[in-house]
Amino acid sequence: MKLIKSINLQGSTATLCTLDMSKAFDKMSHYGLYIKLMELSIPRCFIDILICWDDKCIGVVSLGRLV
């Protein structure tokens, strides 16, 4: 919230971009995906990024007020 308030006070705008992988991979094992990517010789750093993103995925619903 502090970052958003700071940006607003400066009269600037911010752009938010998200990647929703939940529907793309919701019916498969994520670990199976990582193993398949390793078998395809995808660079380990890219796989580590996907694992990190997956670990941080959360869903938030707020009704009646800004979070």
In sequence order, the 6+-apart residues with CB closer than 8 A to the CB of 60 are 67
Which is more confidently placed, 31 or 66?
31
Distance, CA of 58 to chain centre: 8
Give the residue among 28, 47, 27 at the shortest CA–CA distance from 39.
47
Q: Which of 9-23, 32-46, 50-64 holds the top average pLDDT?
A: 32-46
Average the pLDDT over 54-66 and give the result. 65
36-57: pLDDT as tens digits: 999 999 999 999 988 888 777 6
Output the average pLDDT for the chain: 77
Q: Would you state the pLDDT for residue 11? A: 82
Give the residue extent of every domain in the chain.
18-58
Helix (H) or strand (E) holding 55: helix 44-56
Cβ pair 51, 34 in contact under 8 A: yes
Report d(CA 67, CA 59) in Å as an integer.
12
